[in-house]
Amino acid sequence: MALFPRQAPNIPALTPEYLDFNTSPHLLSVSGGLTALALLVFLLRAYVRTVMLRVFGVDDALMLVAIILAVTVFALFVQGTHYGIGKHIFAISPQQFSSVFYLLFWQGLLVVSAVSFVKLSIAFFLLRLAQRTQYRRFLYGVVVFLILFTFVSCGPIIFQYRPVAAAWNFSLRPPPLGTGTGKCMDINVFGKIGVFNSSINAFTDVLFAALPIPMIWTLKINFRTKTSLIGILSLGFLACFAAIYKTPLQYHFFEDTDPTGHGAWFWVWQIIELTLGIISASLPSLKPLFNWFLETAKAFTTNSRSRTGTQNSGFKRNSSLNYFKSDTFKSKNDGAFELASVTASERTENGGTGRGRDMYSVKVTGEGWDAEKGRYESDEAILPIQGGDGNEIMVTKSVVVL
C-alpha cells in the first residue's frame, strides 16, 4: 500500500469571527447526554440482573466492558474540547493541535473496540434465546467474525502513519507540517477503508436488530408476549440509524479541512452510535423492572381509587408486593375484605362433594391492621382456619362505630 505525506490545507483569513467560533458546548451536550443515559440504562440493567434475578451472564460482562469504554471515550472527548475540539483548526496552537489528535487517536481505537463489545453482548444474549441449532451455529460464527473484524478495523487506525507517533506528533511528518520523514497512508485509501468498516458496522446492526424476529416467533409463548419481545429487541434499529447516518459523514470527513471545527460532529456521531447501541441492547434486560413498576403503580392506583370512595375490597395478591390491603373509606384507615376462591378440587380434597352445593360456615374477625408491619409479617387471613372442617370462608372487615 502506497504511503504519501499528507499536505497542510490553505490557511483561511483569521478574522475575529473565525477565532471566536466554538461549538464545543453543543458537542458536549449531545455526547454527554447520551453517555449519561447509556450509563443509567446499564446501571439499571446491572441492578435487574444482579439484585432481582441474581445472575450475571457473559452478555452482561461484555456490556460492562462496553460501558467502561464508552465513558472513557467521552472523558477523552471532554479533554479534547479543552485543547480545541469545537474551534476552527487554525484557531488553536500547534501544541493543542497535537494533543487533540493524540486524544482522537485513542478515541478511534476505543470506539471500534466498544462497538464490537456491544455487538458481542447482543450475540451472547441471543444465544440464550436460540433454541434451534442453526441459529446457535450462526451466532457463534458472527462472534468469531466480530472478533476478527475488530482487529482488522484497528489496524488502519494504528498503522496509518509510519512511525505510529506521527499521528499526533507533527514534528515527525515531512514539511510543511514538520521536519521529519514520516509517511502516511494515502488519504483516499484510508477513507475507503473507513467507509467499508462503517458499512460492515451498519450491516451487523441491522442483522442483530432483525435476527430476533424469526427466533422469537418460533418460541412457544403467547402472541402478545412475542410481539412485545420483538418490539423491545428491535430497538437495535436506533443504532442502525446512527451507523447509517455516520457512514457518509466518514466518507466526506477526509475532504474536510477543518476537522476540529465543523468536522468535529463526526467524532460526536461515533459516540452517538456507541451509546445508542448500549441503550438499545440493554433495554430488553429491564423487562422485570418494568413489570415491577407497572404492578406497583397498579397497586397504588387501586388503593387511591378506594380512598376516594370507590368500592374496592380484597387483597392484591402479588409475590413481589406481598399482601396489599385496600381502604374502603376515604378518611379512615379501614380494613379490607378478603374473598379467596376455593376450587372444586380443593373442596373435594377437604371433604366436600366438589359439585358446588356444599354449605359453608363464615367466621368474621375485626383485628386491626398495621400497613408497614404487614409487608413483612404473615396475616391471619393467609393461615388455615383453626378448628374447621375445610369448608369455611374467612371474611375479615373493620366495623366503624359512629
259 belongs to a structural domain: yes
In terms of domains, do 375 and 254 share one?
no
Would the pLDDT of 399 be above 70?
Answer: no
Strand order in the sheet with 183-185: 3-4, 183-185, 161-162
pLDDT at 381 over 80: no
Encode pLDDT of 120-150 as tens digits. Answer: 999 999 998 887 888 899 999 999 999 999 9
H-helix or E-strand containing 28? helix 24-47
Do 338 and 246 sit in the same domain of this protein? no
Q: What is the pLDDT of residue 182?
A: 83
101 and 228 assigned to the same domain: yes
Residue 36, C-alpha cell as written in the block: 449519561
Does residue 219 form part of some domain? yes
- Looking at every residue in the chain, the average pLDDT score rounds to 77
Indicate if 267 and 354 belong to the same structural domain: no
Which pLDDT score is estimated for 74? Answer: 97
User: Do residue 188 and residue 141 come from a single domain?
Assistant: yes
Residue 372, helix vs strand vs coil: helix
pLDDT in tens, 279-301: 999 988 888 887 777 777 777 77
Q: Which domain holds residue 389?
A: 308-396
On whether both 267 and 334 belong to a single domain, the answer is no
For 246-272, what is the mean pLDDT?
85
Q: What is the pLDDT of residue 47?
A: 94
Cell digits of residue 339: 374473598
Residue 362, SS3 per DSSP: strand
* 147 shares its domain with 283: yes
Q: Are residues 280 and 384 in the same domain?
A: no
CATH code where residue 124 lies? 1.20.1070
Residue 240 in grid coordinates? 442502525
Task: Please compute the mean of the pLDDT values over residues 329-338 and round it to a whole number.
Answer: 41
The answer to the question of residue 14 being in a domain is no
Beta strands in 190-336 (DSSP E): 315-318, 322-325
pLDDT single digits (tens) 350-369: 444 444 444 444 454 444 44
Integer Cα distance of 287 and 229 in angstroms? 9
Strand duo 183-185 + 161-162: pairing: antiparallel
**Which pLDDT score is estimated for 293?**
75
pLDDT tens profile 95-128: 898 999 999 999 999 999 999 999 999 999 999 8
Convert the pLDDT of each residue in 55-99 to its tens digit. 999 999 999 999 999 999 999 999 999 999 999 988 888 889 899
Last residue of a domain, one of 232, 258, 290: 290
Q: What is the pLDDT of residue 67?
A: 98
* 330 and 272 housed in the same domain: no
Count of the separate structural domains present in the chain: 2
Residues 146 and 269 in one domain: yes
**pLDDT tens sequence across 177-224:** 777 888 888 888 888 888 888 889 889 989 988 888 888 887 777 888
Question: For residue 12, is it within any domain?
Answer: no
392 pLDDT band (50/70/90 cuts)?
Answer: low
Asked whether residue 295 is domain-assigned, the answer is no
pLDDT, residue 389, reads 54
Q: What is the pLDDT of residues 24-63, one digit of tens each?
A: 999 999 999 999 999 999 999 999 999 998 999 999 999 9
State residue 9's pLDDT score. 58
Tell me which of 243, 264, 290 is where a domain ends: 290
Whether the per-residue pLDDT at 336 is higher than 70: the answer is no
Grid coordinates given for 228: 412485545
pTM of the model: 0.71
Is 111 part of a structural domain of the chain? yes
244 in any annotated domain: yes
Average pLDDT (328-347) is: 41
Residue 7 inside a domain? The answer is no
What integer is the mean pLDDT of 333-341? 42
Share of the chain above pLDDT 90, in %: 34
More confident residue, 369 or 235: 235
